Amino acid sequence: MLAPLTPVAVLGASGYTGGELVRLLLGHPSAELVYLGANESAGKTLGEVHPYLAGATGLTLESLDPAAAAGRAEVAFCSLPHGASAVLAPALLDAGVRVVDLAGDFRLPADAYPPWYGFDHPASAWLEKAVYGLPELFAAQIAAADLVANPGCYPTVAALGLAPLVGVELIGPGSILVDGKTGLSGAGKSPTDATIYAATEESVRPYRFPKHQHTPEIERALELATGVLARVSFVPHLVPAVRGVLITSYAPLSDGATTESLTACLAAAYAEKPFVRVQPPGGMVDTKRTRGSNLIELQAVADLRTGTAIVAGALDNLVKGAAGQAIQNFNLMTGVDETAGLPTTAVYP
């Protein structure tokens, strides 16, 4: 028997993540797309905003209107700029719509917003009810949630790689260093001097450190998962690619830990998780093997000479790092198979 269709809305459909949400939802077996909202692109057809989606649906983009969305949808995906969801999502929630928010607006404690995002949070009551939507770690809470804060791309990789090891103390207390590399789709669709092809090809660049807003989110995700408050220093880098995030984390290695014990810990933690591929010792993660899929690859190595645990992870930032993970959360929230509508194989090469 087929699952009944759940009517869903996408608020913020004009960016790369919005487009990926629409693409995946159009192929989802138990979701029916009933509302597409946008700001500047309101009134345009989907094909005008995303030419590669021309003809995929008859919907046109409407202006952002929570009431209109709430009148049609049971679940809403908010893929809006940081700060906009915090204003808009409460209206959806108050109208009884369950929300998966893809911005950073419901991921941190209220007091973290001024220093890291530059605004005072306008909806702290809802913020307290939000569930951090990392499905491999918090499935039960997500299933019951009205408001899911879909994680950032970097925190998804860092937390899934580190949390099981921190949890069993294979990684000792102390500071964790997180080095991130991302393709350009993470920088969004608006053209800038920094994102044009001529300035990007053959360019490897760190950016916005040590102030990147994913820094406290990595700390928060680890604390939520393990109760341990680690201090994270995070440096993201732009590399010449479109999709793909690779994280290399460095942490103090506990006595007696080995590459084998680190690997076994990760393998056990994710044995039943359909999207996590833990590499065996000697196997190296590769963003390209995840592209277009909801997969994440993880690898852990003990550098015994220096007492360092090195944990690397790779995913497609628009799928497992954004739209795909949001749909994975939707699947948990609506009780359908966790993999429904989500590719488990990369488009390769």
Please report how close the Cβ of residue 347 comes to a second copy at its closest, in angstroms. 5
Please report how close the Cβ of residue 262 comes to a second copy at its closest, in angstroms. 12
Which lies closer to a second copy via its Cβ, residue 30 or residue 185? 185
Q: Tell me which residues in 201-230 interact with a second copy (CB under 8 A).
A: 201-207, 209-210
305 near a second copy, judged by CB under 8 A: yes
Q: Report the alpha-carbon distance of residue 42 to residue 94 in Å, rounded.
A: 24
Task: Using CB under 8 A, pick the residue from 3, 5, 7, 23 that binds a second copy.
Answer: 23
Are β-strands 245-252 and 75-78 bridged in parallel, bridged antiparallel, or unpaired?
Answer: unpaired
Which lies closer to a second copy via its Cβ, residue 12 or residue 66? 12
Which lies closer to a second copy via its Cβ, residue 97 or residue 295? 295
Q: Report the alpha-carbon distance of residue 49 to residue 45 in Å, rounded.
A: 7
List of residues 6+ apart from 215 with CB closer than 8 A:
116, 232, 233, 234
DSSP classification of residue 147: E
Please report how close the Cβ of residue 235 comes to a second copy at its closest, in angstroms. 5
The set of catalytic residues is 153
Q: Report the alpha-carbon distance of residue 302 to residue 261 in Å, rounded.
A: 9
DSSP classification of residue 254: P
Which lies closer to a second copy via its Cβ, residue 146 or residue 286? 286
Question: In what order do the strands lie in the sheet containing 147-149?
Answer: 62-63, 31-38, 6-11, 75-78, 98-101, 147-149, 131-132
Residue 146 DSSP SS3: coil
Residues in the chain: 349
Q: Report the alpha-carbon distance of residue 157 to residue 154 in Å, rounded.
A: 5
Please report how close the Cβ of residue 20 comes to a second copy at its closest, in angstroms. 8
Task: Using CB under 8 A, pick the residue from 197, 227, 255, 256 that binds a second copy.
Answer: 197
Task: Using CB under 8 A, pick the residue from 34, 38, 102, 246 that binds a second copy.
Answer: 246
Q: Tell me which residues in 250-289 interact with a second copy (CB under 8 A).
A: 250, 277, 284-289
Task: Using CB under 8 A, pick the residue from 44, 72, 82, 237 that binds a second copy.
Answer: 237
Please report how close the Cβ of residue 289 comes to a second copy at its closest, in angstroms. 4
Which lies closer to a second copy via its Cβ, residue 124 or residue 345? 345
Task: Using CB under 8 A, pick the residue from 29, 109, 307, 335 that binds a second copy.
Answer: 307
Q: Let me know the angle formed at the C-alpha of 206 by 304 and 290, rounded to the nearest 5 degrees.
A: 70
- Token pair for residue 287? 């963003």
